[in-house]
């Protein structure tokens, strides 16, 4: 595993980070041009202090839409990154034994902290080629069937399940509907609700619509600070409610899709804090926190009798939200 203190070089800055980008480029230029001139060292340190102060100011005032953009950042860690950095070993299993292998879902046997798991995760890809290969993390029916096949395997061998959620939604193509997209998602909801083994869910990025929910029924749900979890994307919501996708910022605020809102509603159980500016700024810190989250909650869940585990899982979803009159 790479060192957790390693910082990522940010190649792409978001609109809310433009001032940070300008400061960073100025500092990098000064360092490059004056690396052999100690006279500039003091000035560079002063600029770095100002940059730290600016970052703190900018990231304290993020809007819900700013956080959605952070969640979608191209350098944000994806499921394969977590697999490579959280698992000591991983053996991938492919196919749904019915139609095909959906590359938008990665799954298999994993060893985390010496504990065997079945791990499933939606993979969006980092560049054009990998995004096309993994269909941007948008699962087809065979992806949901593959996930269920692996979860049933976990149940058979008494292994806990870890599910990493990161999708803009289930694939909405005609061929997916022809192969039973809605049925596949509904089947997963039913089977996960009564799966006789612990299920730990971590929302690492986008958690949109049934594409996310189809692998997100669990005993405990953790969510990264700048991830989002919603019945629909902000753009989709704006298109339906206001007939204008450009009102996505208003939609993001209205949907209450951020982690703080969701923990208040009882939809998630724990917020996993990210480094200042998002997980892509220092992913190794996030890998460590996600690993700790998984192992801590597994130890708690394994102490419960199976009957109690299933009853509490059922009650958990019955109690989500609240009524107002």
Q: How many Å apart are CA 139 and CA 100, to the nearest integer?
A: 12
What is the per-residue pLDDT for 24? 83
Q: Does residue 283 share a domain with residue 140?
A: yes
**Would you put residue 207 in left (φ > 0), alpha (ψ -120 to 50) or beta?**
beta
- In a domain, residue 293? The reply is yes
Tell me the pTM.
0.92
User: CB-side exposure of 96: number of CA atoms within 13 Å?
Assistant: 20
Q: Rounded to a whole number, what is the distance in angstroms from the first to the last CA of the chain?
A: 52
- In a domain, residue 7? The reply is no
Classified as helix, coil or strand, 166 is: strand
Pair 298, 114: CB distance under 8 Å: no
User: CB-side exposure of 178: number of CA atoms within 13 Å?
Assistant: 4
Q: How many Å apart are CA 221 and CA 209, to the nearest integer?
A: 16
Other beta carbons within 10 Å of 235 = 17
Beta strands in 8-158, from DSSP E residues, in sequence order: 89-92, 105-112, 115-122
Q: Does residue 139 share a domain with residue 55?
A: no
Beta-strand pair 161-167/115-122: parallel
Q: Does residue 99 share a domain with residue 56?
A: no
- In a domain, residue 8? The reply is no
- In a domain, residue 305? The reply is yes
What is the per-residue pLDDT for 325? 77
Residue 268 phi, psi dihedral angles, 5° rounding? -120, 170
Q: Does residue 201 share a domain with residue 113?
A: yes
Domain that holds residue 55: 15-61
Distance from CA of residue 201 to its chain's centroid?
A: 10
Classified as helix, coil or strand, 173 is: coil
pLDDT, tens digit, 9 for 90 and up, residues 95-117:
999 999 999 999 999 999 999 99
- In a domain, residue 325? The reply is no
pLDDT, tens digit, 9 for 90 and up, residues 42-89:
777 888 888 888 888 999 999 999 999 999 999 999 999 999 999 999
Q: Does residue 243 share a domain with residue 126?
A: yes
* For residues 180-199, average pLDDT: 97
Pair 121, 82: CB distance under 8 Å: yes
Task: Give whole-number Cα distances, 255 to 163, 168, 207, 261, 321, in Å.
Answer: 24, 15, 13, 9, 14
**Would you put residue 253 in left (φ > 0), alpha (ψ -120 to 50) or beta?**
alpha
- In a domain, residue 148? The reply is yes
Pair 123, 103: CB distance under 8 Å: yes
**Nearest CA-CA partner of 257 in 121, 70, 58:** 70
Confidence check: pLDDT of 13 > 90 = no
Number of domains in the chain: 2
Output the domain CATH number for residue 198.
3.90.226.10
Residue 38 vs residue 258, higher pLDDT: 258
Q: Does residue 106 share a domain with residue 225?
A: yes
- In a domain, residue 4? The reply is no
What is the per-residue pLDDT for 35? 67
Q: Does residue 73 share a domain with residue 54?
A: no
Q: What is the dihedral of CA 62, 63, 64, 66, to 10 degrees?
A: -60
Residue 7 vs residue 79, higher pLDDT: 79
Q: Does residue 32 share a domain with residue 91?
A: no
With a pLDDT cut of 90, the percent of the chain lying above it is 80
- In a domain, residue 324? The reply is no
Pair 107, 92: CB distance under 8 Å: yes
* For residues 206-230, average pLDDT: 97
Q: Does residue 186 share a domain with residue 38?
A: no
What is the per-residue pLDDT for 7? 64
**Confidence band for 146, pLDDT divided at 50, 70 and 90:** very high
């Amino acid at each position: 595993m790479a060192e957790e203190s390693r910082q990522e070089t940010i190649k792409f800055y978001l609109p809310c980070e433009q001032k940070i980008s300008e400061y960073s480029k100025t500092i990098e230029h000064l360092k490059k041009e004056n690396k052999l001139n100690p006279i500039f060292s003091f000035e560079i340190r002063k600029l770095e202090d100002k940059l730290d102060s600016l970052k703190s100011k900018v990231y304290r005032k993020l809007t819900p839409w700013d956080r959605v953009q952070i969640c979608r950042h191209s350098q944000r860690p994806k499921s394969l990154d977590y697999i490579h950095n959280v698992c000591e070993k991983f053996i991938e299993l492919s196919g749904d034994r019915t139609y095909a292998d959906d590359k938008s879902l990665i799954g298999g046997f994993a060893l985390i902290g010496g504990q065997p798991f079945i791990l499933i995760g939606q993979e969006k890809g980092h560049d054009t080629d990998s995004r096309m290969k993994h269909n941007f993390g948008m699962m087809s029916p065979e992806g949901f069937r593959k996930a269920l096949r692996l979860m049933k395997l976990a149940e058979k061998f008494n292994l806990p399940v870890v599910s990493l959620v990161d999708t803009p939604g289930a694939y909405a193509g005609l061929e997916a509907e022809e192969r039973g997209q809605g049925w596949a998602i509904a089947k997963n909801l039913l089977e996960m609700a009564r799966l006789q083994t612990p299920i730990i869910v971590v929302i690492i990025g986008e958690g949109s619509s049934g594409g996310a929910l189809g692998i997100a029924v669990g005993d405990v749900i953790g969510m990264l600070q700048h991830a989002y979890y919603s019945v629909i994307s902000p753009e989709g919501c704006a298109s339906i409610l206001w007939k204008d996708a450009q009102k996505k910022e208003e939609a993001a605020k209205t949907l209450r899709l951020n982690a703080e809102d969701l923990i208040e509603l009882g939809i998630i159980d724990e917020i996993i804090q990210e480094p200042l500016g998002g997980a892509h700024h220092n992913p190794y810190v996030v890998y460590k926190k996600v690993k700790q989250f998984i192992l801590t909650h597994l130890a708690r869940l394994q102490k419960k009798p199976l009957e109690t585990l299933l009853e509490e899982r059922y009650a958990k979803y019955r109690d989500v939200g609240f009524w107002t009159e």
